[in-house]
Structure 1
């Protein structure tokens, strides 16, 4: 919640955040809160349904066996409850007014599995670059426009961002592995590391595009 709301508050205070930027916090985060609390409630309910074996407190071989059985049940419950990469990394902002969809289907929502992908609205996936540098370490403090392979003129996007006052860094990434993972030549990453847009060419209307991701659409 903090990473989602913090940059939006800063944008409004700095004067470049539009009227739909702060309301997008509710639109993006409420479904996530529902998903997470439903999962947490299910796990809280299920712990009370774990069957306690007989002889649990006996100081003998039968008691040892009963405690081993219960320990295994509790271990499997804890693994189900806390081994949840999909909860932590699989957050996807469907229907956000400040995300430009590209027509690809929503990534799978599975609490116990995470499939890295760069679908607009999803969390930017991690990949190691040359010399063991994480792609996250290349991101700027504000918006980051990733340009894979170079060669695409992004001056119209830069000009539109400049007119709007939206802070954005352009980062060239040569890694073919990263390009395959992000699946487009250009990817705009938000300050909270979620994908705002991606494409193989600059948008037809750069001003409208920047207006949307800044909350002015």
Structure 2
């Protein structure tokens, strides 16, 4: 009965100044690092997920065409594998991450449960190998990839908690609804014991 922490998409392109920067992203990287510094040894496994898109195609329609992005199903080019935008934010302490998984390699993936390691091991298989039963979720963005990851974790039968002060989202209202969705399927929405909480789970897109 192991416990895992999923650190979702704390990447340069999803923080201030990035292609899809979210307000509070850089500060969140610091807060997650402080949290793992305090609690990292309480987890049997810490997994970092990243968008890792192709740079030479539209990734299954995920990247917008000439008509431009609708910011629902199509997006500006972001997190192209091997570029600075796809790297973790420099304020995220990656030394505590045990396994790195990548998603969106040619597909419009949102959930970390669609991700896999470089050697092709899918996240669900990795968690099963480690006998994980409890999954805590932190990262970016509350109303997109955090939401999808937490819902998939519940659908797979895991006990799931999202720390609302360790996530940031694109839109405050959608972020609040995402947290309600997670509660509705039996997930927990908790606060960490960090000293300062975020004002709300969503922030304006830069």
TM-score (norm 1): 0.25
Q: Which has the higher helix share?
A: 1
**TM-score, normalising length: structure 2:** 0.26
More strand by share: 2
Whichever of the two has the greater Rg, that structure is 1
